[in-house]
Structures are given as structure tokens and as C-alpha cells.
Amino acid sequence: MNQLERDLLNNLQGGFPICPHPFRLLAERLGYSEETVIKGVKNLISDGYVSRFGPLFNTEKLGGAVTLAAMSVPPERFDAVAEQVNSFEEVAHNYEREDHLNMWFVVLACDENMLENVLHQIEEKTGLNVLNFPKEKEYFLELKLEVPQ
């Protein structure tokens, strides 16, 4: 990892400038050109240091619905079921766990009815039971990891 990548990772955690030219503002703050910062962010993604770069919205405050769901997927079907689950645009991401409930995924929808409909469609498409774990209480945990020099 080069110095630019370290600087970007250490300065992009916890917020991104909201303005007409955010990369320019970040570049000025860090002492790089705007083009260098944009290329650096692209490299962080392509090199696998960052899996996602984009906004995180509070779906519920925007009037939508969100839930965490889980399934027990036979190991020999895991990849195929993951592909089926990920085919729904409402699925934000999913991940594997070493447990009876081995597939977990987040579903975002425009409202509760649509959310329930998506979960039902996933059950129909996969032939597996989907367990819905809606949020009962929200906690804010801010984690910033400093990348050492």
C-alpha cells in the first residue's frame, strides 16, 4: 500500500465532503491533485483494499424498510442460492457464516409490504425458509481504523 492509499483510507473514514467537487476538496486537504485522488480511490477498489465506495443512507428515515435475514442453506447449494438471493436488487449484501444459519443478508425495500414480498419471493425462488430479523433498536458504533505508515 502506498502513501496516497494510506492517506485516503485514513481520511475517508467518517465522512466524505458533500459539495460540488468533493474529490477536489479532499485533494486540497491532503496535498494531491484531484485526478490523483480519484485514481487513488479507484485503485483502492480495484486492489481490494475497499469493497464498497458510496453513500450509506438511513433507509427508514427515508420512508423505507430494512431487515437482516438468514437462511440455512445446504453447503452443496450455497453458491447457487447466493446467486439467487443476490439477483434481487433489494438485497444489499450477503455473507456466509459457519453455523446452521449459514447465509445472512440485508434487504432494503420501499416499505414493509415490499420487504415482506421480497422475502417471500426469495423463499419461492430458493425453496428455502427465510428468517426475518428486523431491527429492534439502533446503535451507532463509529469505528475508524488508522492505517499505519
Q: How confident is the model at residue 93 (pLDDT cuts 50, 70, 90)?
A: confident
How far is Cα 30 from Cα 120, in angstroms, rounded to an integer?
48
pLDDT tens track for 65-78: 999 999 999 999 99
Output phi, psi for 118, to 5 deg: -65, -45
Q: Other C-beta atoms within 10 Å of 71: how many? A: 21
pLDDT at 62: 82
Residue type (1 letter), 58: N
Looking up residue 79, the CATH number of its domain turns out to be 3.30.70.3460
Residue 56 has pLDDT above 90, yes or no: no
Q: pTM for this structure?
A: 0.69
Q: Which residues pair with 104 in a beta bridge?
A: 70, 95
Average pLDDT over the chain, rounded to whole? Answer: 92
CB-based contacts of 58, cutoff 8 Å, min separation 6: none
The domain of 16 spans 3-46
Q: Are 112 and 67 in contact (CB under 8 A)?
A: no
Residue 85, domain member (yes or no): yes
Number of domains in the chain: 2
